[in-house]
Amino acid sequence: DGERSFRNARLSTSFAPGTTAGTVLRAIATATGLALGNVSAAVAKLDSLTLQQGYVVSGSVARALDRLLYSLGYGYSVQRGALQILADGDVLDDSIPLISPTTGLIGSPEMGSPEASGKPALCRFQSLLVATAPGKIVHLTSDRYDTDLVVKKCEFSGDTHGGDWTTTIYGEIRR
In this prediction, residue 71 has a pLDDT band, given cuts at 50, 70 and 90, of very high
Whole-number Cα distances in Å, 162 to 102, 128, 158: 22, 14, 8
Strand 137-141 versus strand 98-99 pairing type: parallel
Phi then psi dihedrals of residue 145, to 5 deg: -120, 145
Q: Are 37 and 14 in contact (CB under 8 A)?
A: no
20-32 tens-digit pLDDT = 999 999 999 999 9
Number of residues in the chain: 175
Measure the CA–CA gap between 134 and 76, rounded to whole angstroms.
9
Phi then psi dihedrals of residue 31, to 5 deg: -70, -15
In this prediction, residue 174 has a pLDDT band, given cuts at 50, 70 and 90, of confident
Across the range 112-124, mean pLDDT stands at 81
What DSSP character marks residue 44?
H
Q: Are 154 and 167 in contact (CB under 8 A)?
A: yes
pLDDT of residue 1: 53
| CB environment 115-152: b (16+ within 10 A), e (fewer) | eeeeeeebbebbbeebebbbbbbbbbbbeebebbbbbb
Phi then psi dihedrals of residue 71, to 5 deg: -65, -20
In this prediction, residue 5 has a pLDDT band, given cuts at 50, 70 and 90, of low
pLDDT of residue 79: 81
What pTM, to 2 d.p., does this model score?
0.67
Encoded amino acid at 137, one letter: I
Q: Are 96 and 137 in contact (CB under 8 A)?
A: yes
